[in-house]
Structure 1
Amino acid sequence: MSAERITIPREMLPEDGRFGAGPSKVRAAQVDALSAAGGHLLGTSHRQAPVKNLVAEVREGLHQFFGAPEGYELILGVGGSTAFWDIASFCLVQQKAQHLSFGEFGSKFAKATHEAPFLDPSSILSSEAGTLPAPRPEAGVDAYAWPHNETSTGVAAPVKRVQGADDGALVLVDGTSAAGGLAVDVTETDAYYFGPQKNFASDGGLWLAMMSPAAIERAERLDAQRWVPDFLQLTTAIENSRKNQTYNTPALATLVTLNEQVRWLNANGGMDFAAARTADSAGRVYAWAEAHELAQPFVADPAERSNVITTVDFAESVDAADLAKTLRANGIVDVEPYRKLGRNQLRIATFTAIEPEDVTRLLNCIDHVLER
C-alpha cells in the first residue's frame, strides 16, 4: 500500500497535530487573548498607554522568566532575529567577531559580520551538521557568537562565557528556538536575543534581546563612532524600549500572544517548568528512536541533543519524505527535515506549547505507518 493512502485511526491521533520547528503551535488560550484584545487594542496607536502597558508587561514578564539581574534590560524591535544579525554587526561588534557555525542559522550571522566592510574578517569555527564546535579565546576578538539551539539540525550548545577572552569581549547568543524552552543563565551573555515564534508560541517579525550593561555601553559607543542605518540603530531600540515602545509600528497580535505565553510560563513555574516540559517531550522522541530498528537520533552525542528540536534519521528502507506526507494527510504537520540537510529524516519540534502526551501519540502514529 502507498504510504500516502494509509489512514491513521482518529483515536490514535494527537489532540493537536502541529509539530513544526517554527512557527510553533499556538495555544488556544493565546487565541482567546487575541480575540479579547480585538475590540480595544488591535488597530490602536502603539504610542499610547494601552499598547505601551502591554509592552511593559512583556518586558517585565520576560525579565522575571529569565531571572535577569539588575542592569540587564529587555530590548525589542521590529524585524526578527535576521534583522538583529545586522544590528549586532553594526552596533555590537567593534572590530572582529568569532562565530560557531554548526548549522544554517549560526552560519548566517557569521556571514553577516565576515562580509561587513567596516569589520575585520570573522573567525569562524565550524563543524559538521549534527555536531558541535567549541569557542576558543582569540586575541583581537571582541564578540563571540553562536546559537543556543541550531534549529536546522537539533544541536544545542552550552551558554558560557569564553574563558581567556580579551577583557571587554561580549558574548552574543542567538536564543531564537531555545528561549522559553531551554534553561539559560543570561549573565553568561551580553545579548541573549530571540524571536517570539518558537517556544513563546507567537508570530515572527519581532526581535527581543536581554542585554547586559556592557552591551548597552558598546552600542552607545559605536553609535557615536560609525554610521548606522536608522532601522538598525540599537541605541534607538534601547531608547524606545525604555519607553515601552518600538521605533517602527509592531504587530500588536504578536505582542498579545507573546504576553499570554509569558504569563502562562511564569504562572506554571517559569524557566524550570519550561525546561522540564521540553526535556520530557524530547526524551520521549530520543528513547523511541534509540529503541527502534528503523530509526536513530541524528545527533550522535546525547549531551549535544536539543530538547526543543529533535531530529531522527531513518533506515534506507524507509522513505521519510513519504512518511511525512502520510502524516500530513492525517493532520500531523510540519515534521519534514530542514531542506538543506537533504537527509532521510524527520524534524519534530518539542516546544513548550506542545503537550508531551501528543508527542507520544505522534510516535505511535509513526509506528502505525511504518508497520504498514
Structure 2
Amino acid sequence: MTDQFPTLPANLLPADGRFGCGPSKVRPAQIQAIVDGATGVVGTSHRQAAVRDVVGSLREGLSDLFSLPEGYEIVLSLGGATAFWDAATYGLIRERSGHLTFGEFSGKFASAAKKAPWLADPAVVAAEPGDAPAPRAFEGCDVIAWAHNETSTGAMVPVTRPADSGDSLVVIDATSGAGGLPVEMDQADVYYFSPQKCFASDGGLWFAAMSPAAIQRIAEINATDRFIPAFLNLQTAVDNSRKNQTYNTPAVGTLLMMDDQVRWMNANGGLPGMVERTTANSRVLYGWADARPEARCFVSDPANRSLVVGTIDFDDSIDAARIAKILRANGILDVEPYRKLGRNQLRVGMFPAIDTTDVEKLTAAVDHILDEGLAGV
C-alpha cells in the first residue's frame, strides 16, 4: 500500500525546493549556458580553442574568486575529490601524512593514505561526528590534511596554517566549502574541490588552488622512481592545466555550467558576497532550530557550524525521516541525513545559489508539519 503524504499549503513552498548537499541546486542560467554552447563547444575536441577557452575562463574566474596569491595556480583533472585522494597518495605525500578527521569524508583521505604501501601509516587526530578538531601540525608528517567543511556532519574547520608546520604542505578538502566559506588562500598549499556543491554543477572533475610549494613537491615526487598511474599523475594535471585542458576528455557540459556559476559569483560580490549569502541562509536555519523545542543543531559549538551544510537533530518523539518524505512529496527535495551517519535529523544544503527566502519557506514548512502533528512516532 502506498503511503499518502499530506499536501502542504502553497504559501509554505519554496520557489525552488532543491536543498541537496551535492548534487545541489543549479540555476537556470547554467542550463542555458550548455544550450548556448551547443554549437562550437559541446561535441568538439577538448584540445581545441573553443573548449580550452572555457577552461581558461574558468581558471581565471576561480583565481579572481579566491584572490590567489602570487605563484598559486588553478589545476584541474578528472575523477572528483575521491580521485584526488588517491592522486595525493602517489604525487603529493612524500613519506607520511597527518589528518584531522571528523566525519566520513575527512576520514576517507586518511584511509587512502593508510592503504598506500609506499607510505608510512598516517597520523590521525579524530573527533566524533558533530565535533571538530583544531588545526595542528604533526611531527614527521610532510602533509597536514583536513576538510574545510565536513559534508556528512555539517561541521567546518577554518583554514589556518599551523604555526609549527614547517615545510609540511597544508592540504584542504574544500569539496563542499569552496565558494561558500571564507578562506585566505595563503594559509593552504592545496585547496581542492569538486563542482557539484557551491559551484552548482555536475561531478566528475576536481579543481585545486595550488601553491608554488605544492607544485614543486609534485615535480620532485614525479622525478623519482615511484610508480604513478597516468590518470592520477598530478604533474600531468599541472602540465595540462597550464594549457587550459585536461589529460582525459572532460565533461564539457559541467565546465560550461561551472564557468557560468563562477561568473555569477564574481559578478555578485565575489567570495565575500557568496559568504554573505551562505551566512544569511545558515542564520535562518540555526535560528529556527534554536527556537523549536523538538529540534537542535547537531554541531553543538556555534563556531563549528557550517555555513553551507546544516544538520538538525530531532527528539525521539519526532520521525525526521517522515518529515523528509512529506517535504519530498511536496517538491522540497534532498533534506535526508547523510546515509552512514544514521541520525534522526535533516541535512540542508545552504550553498550560494540557494535563496534565503527559500530557506525561510523550508523552515515554515517544517513548522507546519510539527505543529500539525504530522511527523510524530
What is the TM-score normalised by the length of structure 1? 0.98
Structure 2: distance between partners of 1:146 and 1:153: 14
Structure 2: distance between partners of 1:27 and 1:282: 20
Alignment of 1:309-348 (within 5 A): 309-348=309-348
Structure 1: distance between partners of 2:132 and 2:114: 20
Q: Which amino acid aligns with 2:209?
A: M
Structure 2 counterpart of 1:282: 282
Query: What does the per-residue CA deviation read over 1:300-327, in whole Å, with 9 as the maximum and x for residues that have no partner?
Result: 0000000000000011111000110000
Alignment of 1:97-108 (within 5 A): 97-108=97-108
Structure 2: distance between partners of 1:83 and 1:4: 41
Structure 2 counterpart of 1:191: 190
Query: What does the per-residue CA deviation read over 1:127-159, in whole Å, with 9 as the maximum and x for residues that have no partner?
Result: 110001124333211100000000000000010
Structure 2 counterpart of 1:27: 27
Query: What does the per-residue CA deviation read over 1:203-249, in whole Å, with 9 as the maximum and x for residues that have no partner?
Result: 00000000000000000000111110110110000000000000000
Structure 2: distance between partners of 1:235 and 1:194: 18
* Partner secondary structure for residue 125 of structure 1: strand
Structure 2 counterpart of 1:173: 172
Query: What does the per-residue CA deviation read over 1:225-274, in whole Å, with 9 as the maximum and x for residues that have no partner?
Result: 11101101100000000000000000000000000000000011100000
Structure 1 counterpart of 2:215: 216
Structure 1 counterpart of 2:267: 267
Alignment of 1:61-100 (within 5 A): 61-100=61-100
Structure 2 counterpart of 1:229: 229
* Partner secondary structure for residue 5 of structure 1: coil
Structure 1: distance between partners of 2:338 and 2:175: 16
Structure 1 counterpart of 2:240: 240
1:6 is displaced (CA, Å) by 1.3
Alignment of 1:97-176 (within 5 A): 97-165=97-165, 167-176=166-175
Q: Which amino acid aligns with 1:176?
A: T
Please tell me whether the aligned partners of residues 3 and 323 of structure 1 are also in contact (alpha carbons under 8 angstroms). Answer: no
Indicate yes or no: 2:364 matched with 1:364. Answer: yes
Query: What does the per-residue CA deviation read over 1:172-223, in whole Å, with 9 as the maximum and x for residues that have no partner?
Result: 0000000010111111001000001100001000000000000000000001
Q: Which amino acid aligns with 1:214?
A: A
Q: Which amino acid aligns with 1:219?
A: I
Aligned length: 370
User: What is the RMSD computed on CA atoms of the aligned residues?
Assistant: 1.1
Structure 1: distance between partners of 2:146 and 2:121: 16
Structure 2: distance between partners of 1:255 and 1:342: 34
Q: Does the C-alpha gap of structure 1 residues 55 and 32 become closer, same or farther in structure 2, counting only changes over 3 Å? A: same
Structure 2 counterpart of 1:296: 296
* Partner secondary structure for residue 136 of structure 1: coil
Q: Does the C-alpha gap of structure 1 residues 168 and 298 become closer, same or farther in structure 2, counting only changes over 3 Å? A: same
1:4 is displaced (CA, Å) by 4.9
- Long gaps (5+) in structure 1: none
Q: Which runs of 4+ in 1 moved over 2 A?
A: 2-5, 134-139
Structure 2: distance between partners of 1:315 and 1:3: 23
* Partner secondary structure for residue 55 of structure 2: helix
* Partner secondary structure for residue 159 of structure 1: coil
Please tell me whether the aligned partners of residues 79 and 207 of structure 1 are also in contact (alpha carbons under 8 angstroms). Answer: yes
Structure 2 counterpart of 1:252: 252
Indicate yes or no: 2:210 matched with 1:205. Answer: no
Q: Which amino acid aligns with 1:159?
A: V
Please tell me whether the aligned partners of residues 4 and 323 of structure 1 are also in contact (alpha carbons under 8 angstroms). Answer: no
* Partner secondary structure for residue 207 of structure 1: strand
Q: Which amino acid aligns with 1:43?
A: G
Q: Does the C-alpha gap of structure 1 residues 286 and 3 become closer, same or farther in structure 2, counting only changes over 3 Å? A: farther
1:343 is displaced (CA, Å) by 0.7
1:22 is displaced (CA, Å) by 0.5
Please tell me whether the aligned partners of residues 138 and 144 of structure 2 are also in contact (alpha carbons under 8 angstroms). Answer: no
Structure 2: distance between partners of 1:156 and 1:128: 13
Q: Which amino acid aligns with 1:31?
A: I
Q: Which amino acid aligns with 1:200?
A: F
Structure 1: distance between partners of 2:198 and 2:136: 29
Q: Which amino acid aligns with 1:76?
A: L
1:34 is displaced (CA, Å) by 1.2
Query: What does the per-residue CA deviation read over 1:43-98, in whole Å, with 9 as the maximum and x for residues that have no partner?
Result: 00000000001100000000000000120000000110100001111111111100
Please tell me whether the aligned partners of residues 135 and 161 of structure 2 are also in contact (alpha carbons under 8 angstroms). Answer: no
Please tell me whether the aligned partners of residues 106 and 147 of structure 1 are also in contact (alpha carbons under 8 angstroms). Answer: yes
Please tell me whether the aligned partners of residues 21 and 348 of structure 1 are also in contact (alpha carbons under 8 angstroms). Answer: yes
- Long gaps (5+) in structure 2: 373-377
Please tell me whether the aligned partners of residues 171 and 189 of structure 2 are also in contact (alpha carbons under 8 angstroms). Answer: yes
Structure 2 counterpart of 1:6: 6
Q: Which amino acid aligns with 1:87?
A: A
Q: Which amino acid aligns with 2:47?
A: R
Q: Which amino acid aligns with 1:234?
A: L
1:11 is displaced (CA, Å) by 2.5
Please tell me whether the aligned partners of residues 4 and 322 of structure 1 are also in contact (alpha carbons under 8 angstroms). Answer: no
Please tell me whether the aligned partners of residues 85 and 109 of structure 1 are also in contact (alpha carbons under 8 angstroms). Answer: yes
